[in-house]
Amino acid sequence: EGYITLDPGYKNTGATTSAITFLDGEKGILRYRGYPIEQLAEQSNFIEVSYLLIYGSLPTAQELNDFSERISRHTLVNEDMRKILDGFPATAHPMGILSALVSSLTAFYPESLKSNQSQDEMDLSVIRLMAKMPTIAAWSYKNSIGHPVIYPKNKLDYASNFLNMMFSYPTEDYEVDPVVVDALNKLLILHADHEQNCSTSTVRLVGSAHASLYSSVSAGISALWGPLHGGANQAVIEMLEAIKADGGDSKKFIEKAKDKNDPFRLMGFGHRVYKNFDPRAKIIKKSADDVLAALGVKDPILDIAKELEEAALNDSYFVERKLYPNVDFYSGIIYRAIGIPTNMFTVMFALGRLPGWIAQWKEMRENKEPIGRPRQIYVGETERDYVAVEKR
């Protein structure tokens, strides 16, 4: 039996071997299947990166075409899903709806519950999930504004199709802008995988019990929702808005974040693994400038964000603790510029992270990993005798 080592938050414990994503937090390096994130963000698109993560190599032109076409054919969701959607109040957070509807896919595709799926069956589950997530995500938004849902249009590419379902009305078509499509592809690529983060570890842990891909990813969505994880992108914008409303003094908020008696943290700052610049944040910061310029958007919040970053990077508290802006610090500013409402930011993160979750779930199953079952060190009462209620 031997010792049980205690490592709360798994700060130094590896749970698996993995061949998907390489991350060096000291040097600020991130690679998917060996390819640097900078090259993928600049030169690839989200569907190609999804293929790379899920199947391990860049697709040939034919493979890419087949993958995209198969995804396009499966974008419709079962009409009965709309009844589930209708049951949610308009106030429901879209992340809750996303997690519930992804979980309910098991009901529509019960074959996904088989623990010994063939490669073809597993592939079909993968394609269905990639195809239906954007539809479900856009519908969760339409529900929140009380508008009728827009059906997928399969002649559009993945990103354009999502934007169309978000922003078209039965009465008016949305003009898909190539600047917006490029920005969205870049954001999705930057979020596509990040090795054993909280939501991905959740997907692997749930999947290790041989739960279906849909249930496992639904659990991952719930984990991602938390403000210390994917929920941070929404929290960043809310924080920047609060700074603006308070008169725009970023130094005051820096002091607040340093005060140990105040629970406030600088959202979008710090990372468990990056103790140097988050390479994704570098790309996103530049992209925020480019996208806002291309769209002719002037957002005062971008200036506040830059001031805040500058002030934090020159403050010994943040320097000593190696706290740098993370991927979420600037992503919300781009989402806002392309018209995505704040309560959808974390859903955008989920859409981006999906191929990573799928790749990690598939790797875990194909490697026949054992069920995940952490141990503990018991610190409760020693043995004691039961006392009848009238004697307590």
Residues near ligand CMC (CB under 6 A)? 9, 194, 197, 228-230, 232, 257, 265-272, 321, 323, 326-328
**Which amino acid is present at 219?**
A
Residue type, 351: L
Q: How far is the CB of 97 from ligand CMC (least distance, A)?
A: 21
The continuous run of DSSP H or E covering 30 comes out as strand 29-32
What does the alpha-carbon distance between residue 353 and residue 340 come to, in Å, rounded to a whole number?
17
User: In the numeric block, which tokens belong to residue 346?
Assistant: 């974390």
Active site residue 271: yes
CB burial of 307-335 (b: ≥16 within 10 Å; e: otherwise) equals bbbebbeebeebeeeebbbbbbbbbbbbb
3, two tokens: 């010792």
Nearer to ligand CMC, 266 or 283 (CB): 266
Residue 369: is it exposed, middle or buried by C-beta count within 10 angstroms (0-12/13-18/19+)?
middle
The encoded tokens of residue 377 equal: 């060190």
Residues 6+ apart with CB under 8 A from 217: 102, 129, 203, 354, 357, 358, 361
Q: How far is CA 213 from CA 51, 110, 125, 182, in A?
A: 17, 11, 7, 29
Q: Which is nearer to ligand CMC, 72 or 218 (CB)?
A: 218
Residue with the CB atom nearest ligand CMC in the bound state: 270
* 3-state SS, residue 325: strand
Which of 155, 260 has the CB closer to ligand CMC? Answer: 260
Q: Which of 359, 319, 342, 316 is nearest to 213 (CA)?
A: 359
Q: Which is nearer to ligand CMC, 46 or 349 (CB)?
A: 349
CB of 328 to ligand CMC, least distance (A): 5
CA distance 113 to 103: 11
For residue 182, indicate whether it is catalytic: no
Cβ nearer to ligand CMC, comparing 308 with 327: 327
The CB-of-323 to ligand CMC minimum distance in angstroms stands at 5
Least gap, CB of 232 to ligand CMC (angstroms): 4
Closest to ligand CMC by CB, 124 vs 273, is 273
Catalytic pick from 191, 194, 271, 278? 271
CB of 216 to ligand CMC, least distance (A): 18
Tell me how far, at minimum, the Cβ of 26 lies from ligand CMC, in Å.
14
> Smallest gap, in angstroms, from Cβ of residue 197 to ligand CMC?
5
**Radius of gyration (Cα) for the chain, nearest Å?**
22
Q: Cβ(177)–Cβ(195) under 8 Å? A: no
Helical residues (DSSP H) of 80-118, grouped into ranges: 80-86, 94-108
Q: How far apart are CA 368 and CA 17, in angstroms?
A: 12
**Which of these is catalytic: 93, 194, 278, 328?**
328
- CB of 194 vs ligand CMC, minimal distance in Å: 6
Choice between 152 and 270, CB closer to ligand CMC: 270
Cβ neighbours, 10 Å, residue 180: 23
Cβ proximity to ligand CMC, 269 vs 330, nearer residue: 269
Contact 334, 287 (CB under 8 A): yes
Catalytically active residues, by annotation:
271, 328
